[in-house]
Amino acid sequence: MFTGIIEDLGKVADIKKDKANINVTIKSFITKELKIDQSIAHDGVCLTTVKTDKKNNQYTVTAVKETLDRSNFKYLKVGDEINLERCLKVNSRLDGHIVQGHVDQTAICKSVEETDGSWKYTFEYDPEKNNITVEKGSISVNGVSLTVVDSGTNTFSVAIIPYTYEVTNFHNFKKGTVVNIEFDIIGKYIAKLLELYTDK
């Protein structure tokens, strides 16, 4: 379980293919506090630490085919910046919203607009997966907990403050960038219940 509040902007140090999977090594200051089997959200994807190299501040995770199919991990390159968040502690404040680290699908950045001190990003996603957004609702983009500004049938926009712009990989986004989306868990359950109810 996560909150969507990013702890560090890690850097991809190495990618090795292993059959249908990939092993990704990340350089980050949080490595010194990690242990094997610990869950970490990487651009919103919950992955398990399988190896640590504390001397070089690096750790490794494995992304399986299901993760590659659903997320932007299939486009990862060495040198890419990646948003990192360790799992929520039971006694911590929930500063963002409930984020499971289970990416629902990807979306494409359609526009980036600078708005006098902040940035407005608009994203488009495949509507056939029956995911929805609502204005002022919660959304996770590359693991960042955000509030939806505008909501369309298969589009939404978010506003990014300067702090978030600097400490996450949002500053790398441009038109055409593919991002990971996790829709609000409450909205997903409501949408599923409505789907089941209307099918009867």
How do residues 21-71 score in pLDDT, each as one tens digit? 999 999 999 999 999 999 999 999 999 999 999 999 999 999 999 999 999
pLDDT digits (tens, 9 = 90+) for 79-98: 999 999 999 877 777 777 88
- Pairing, β 138-141 against β 144-151: antiparallel
What is the model's pTM? 0.91
Q: Across-strand partners of 143?
A: none
> Closest Cα partner for 12 from 64, 65, 69, 83?
83
Give the whole-angstrom CA distance, residue 47 versus residue 40.
6
Half-sphere exposure of 172 (CA within 13 A, CB side): 15
Domains of the chain: 8-86 (2.40.30.20), 105-198 (2.40.30.20)
Which pair of structure tokens corresponds to residue 157?
């926009």
**3-class DSSP state for residue 92?**
coil
